Structure 1
Amino acid sequence: MLTNVDKSRAKRPLFIVFVLIVVLSIFMVMSLSGQSEQTDIPEQQLAKILSEMEDVGQVFVYFHYEQQKEKQFLAVTQQQNITGVIIVAQGAQDVHVQRLLKQTVGNVLQIPTHRIQVVAMQPKEEAK
Structure 2
Amino acid sequence: MQKPKRKLHMLFIGTLLAILIIFINSTIGSMGGGNKKGEESREVSALEQALMKIEGIGEVFIYTHSEPKDESSPLTDYFSVSGTKSEKQNPLQGILVVAEGADNPMTKNKIKRILSAVLQLPEHRIVVEEMNKRGIYIESE
Query: Does the pair score TM above 0.5?
Result: yes
Q: What is the letter of the counterpart of residue 88 of structure 1? A: V
In structure 1, runs of 5+ residues without a counterpart are 1-23, 74-78
Distance 1:30 1:66, change over 3 A: closer
CA RMSD between the two structures:
3.8
Contact 1:89–1:120 (8 Å) recurs in 2 = yes
Large movers: runs of 4+ above 4 Å = 26-32
Q: How many residues matched?
A: 119
Q: What is the letter of the counterpart of residue 51 of structure 1? A: M
Distance 2:40 2:71 in 1: 24
Distance 2:106 2:44 in 1: 22
Secondary structure of 2:57's counterpart equals coil
Q: Where in structure 2 are the equivalents of 1:1-128 lying within 5 Å?
A: 35=35, 38=38, 41=41, 42-72=43-73, 81-126=91-136
Q: Deviations over 1:90-118 (max 9, x none)?
A: 01000000000000001000010000000
**Identical aligned residues as a percent:** 29
TM-score (norm 2): 0.59
Q: Deviations over 1:10-69 (max 9, x none)?
A: xxxxxxxxxxxxxx9x9888766x727725522111111101001011101111001131
In structure 2, runs of 5+ residues without a counterpart are 1-24, 77-88, 137-141
Contact 1:67–1:80 (8 Å) recurs in 2 = no
Q: What is the letter of the counterpart of residue 67 of structure 2? A: E
Distance 1:39 1:55, change over 3 A: same
Q: What is the letter of the counterpart of residue 56 of structure 2? A: D
Q: Which has the higher contact order (CA 8 A, sep 6+)?
A: 2
Distance 1:93 1:105 in 2: 17
Distance 1:90 1:66, change over 3 A: same
Q: Which has the higher strand share?
A: 1
TM-score (norm 1): 0.64
Distance 1:61 1:54 in 2: 18
